[in-house]
Amino acid sequence: MYSAAITGTGVFTPDNVITNDELVAAYNAYADRRNAENAEAIAAGEAEPVPHSSAEFIVAASGIENRRVMDKSGVLDPDRMYPRLAPRPDDQPSLMAEMALDAAGKALAQAGLEPGDIDAVFCAASNHERAYPAIAVEIQDLLGAGGFAFDMNVACSSATFGIQTAADMVRTGSVRRALVVNPEICSGHHEWRDRDCHFIFGDVATAVVVERDEGLTRPHWKIRSTRLATKFSNNIRNNDGFLRRAHDQMEDRRDMQFVQEGRKVFKEVLPLVSRHIADHMAAEGVTSADLSRLWLHQANKTMNDYIGKKVLGRDPEPGEQPNILQDYANTSSAGSIIAFSHHSEDLEPGSLGIICSFGAGYSVGSVIVERA
Ligand code: COA
């Protein structure tokens, strides 16, 4: 058996920013239009008016201030409220592949590697823009990587599940270097017309290089241990899928975008994640005093504050548990990797940290890393 290390990370950040104020103005315009259309039914008590949203609520409930998206105009058009992304012919790179390539290039540069050094590519994300061929195989081809590639989907936990998959293959020697990419076009499966969640998501892509820990000369992160868990729940769900046609349900229904019971998710996922991290640390003989940093899934600031306090046994010091959700919103599987990529290089050799992602499934994955 070999040891595995993370030697490079990269983040592709879309140019388009949507502030809470812009988002709320578009949503409220949509609500006003719907209410004007349904004025008679609302006045007769036969229909409920669409309620307004507010930027104050969004910041207080989630900590989110901005989100990045691949297309802004469609999302902010009150007559549309979802992105406008031109279909691409089959001989053009898919959008997910294009985003992933940008992040992959940055991760490879940090690792000091060429694409041909990579033996395996995993595209681990909440959604894949087509059924097949796998986006990962397209990325492998566009990049010029060797070996093999496949897609994975474990919703918001896809990145840590991808890192364990890569690390296990590196440990056994079946591959020497793997690339895990997480292109997330959350704007495409998000319901921008539902005020309970319209502020949650953003788009991004991340990439992580995992390789054999042997003769490494650049600063890197030893993967001390990984741990995954799942427990079925319907509280975060999307019913879109390939049987739509067979179900005679081609129309755009609410449950064919992201749906969640936010309060239940809060109550059930917080203990699940806190216990998962505590058990993982205990099994590895790591105490809270040993930890320099936590890079958590970026869904909700209150959630992260709670988990940080549980894991450390005290309020985290500023910088100990960096959040990026104020700038990116929830970017599904990519969130904890953005936090890791942006807030890890300052740590001294020997420092320990945990990358942890969690979400639909339910699913939770943790990776204990040591700076070297
Ligand atoms: N603007 C103004 N008011 C709003 C609103 C908005 N955009 N959205 C909801 N409200 C109202 C609700 O109608 C409710 O009003 P009521 O008390 O009169 O019924 C009140 O604000 C509280 O709503 P609630 O949905 O209970 O808010 P919350 O504090 O639970 O926050 C989330 C909502 C989504 C931010 C929160 O539940 C969450 O983050 N949950 C976990 C999400 C998560 O991790 N998901 C994983 C996805 S990968």
Of all protein residues, the one whose alpha carbon is nearest to atom 1 of ligand 1 is 53
- Distance between CA 126 and CA 111 in Å, rounded? 26
Q: Which of 123, 156, 197, 356 is catalytic?
A: 156
Nearest one of 252, 254, 258 to 238, comparing CA atoms: 258
- Distance between CA 174 and CA 168 in Å, rounded? 9
The arithmetic mean of pLDDT across residues 335-354, rounded, is 97
How many A from CA of 19 to the centre of ligand 1?
A: 18
Nearest one of 331, 298, 338, 260 to 69, comparing CA atoms: 331
How many A from CA of 138 to the centre of ligand 1?
A: 38
pLDDT greater than 90 at residue 318: no
CB 122 within 8 A of CB 150: yes
Mutate to test the pocket of ligand 1, among 57, 58, 326, 358 (most ligand atoms within 8 A of CB): 57
Domain 221-371 is found in CATH 3.40.47.10? yes
Ligand 1 atom showing the smallest separation from residue 332 Cα: 48
| pLDDT tens digits along 41-56 | 999 999 999 999 999 9
Ligand 1 atom showing the smallest separation from residue 360 Cα: 48
**Which tokens hold the place of 323?**
């959040």
- What share of the chain has pLDDT > 70, as a percent? 100
pLDDT greater than 90 at residue 252: no
| pLDDT tens digits along 136-164 | 999 999 999 999 999 999 999 999 999 99
CB 64 within 8 A of CB 39: no
How many angstroms separate the Cα of 132 from the Cα of each of 10, 135, 136, 159? 25, 7, 10, 20
Given pLDDT bands bounded at 50, 70 and 90, which one contains residue 191? very high
pLDDT greater than 90 at residue 249: no
Q: What is the model's pLDDT at position 299?
A: 96
Q: What is the model's pLDDT at position 250?
A: 81
Mutate to test the pocket of ligand 1, among 28, 296, 300 (most ligand atoms within 8 A of CB): 300
Domain extents in the chain: 221-371
Taking the model in full, what pTM does it have? Answer: 0.97
How many A from CA of 308 to the centre of ligand 1?
A: 21
Residue 362: cis peptide before it, omega within 30 degrees of 0: yes
- Distance between CA 237 and CA 251 in Å, rounded? 18
- Distance between CA 366 and CA 355 in Å, rounded? 6
- What share of the chain has pLDDT > 90, as a percent? 98
pLDDT greater than 90 at residue 251: no
Residue 156 is among the residues annotated as catalytic for this protein: yes
Residue 256, helix vs strand vs coil: helix
Angle between helices 301-312 and 55-62 (to 10 degrees): 20
DSSP-derived letter for residue 211 is E
Cα end-to-end distance, the chain, whole Å: 20
- Distance between CA 291 and CA 357 in Å, rounded? 17
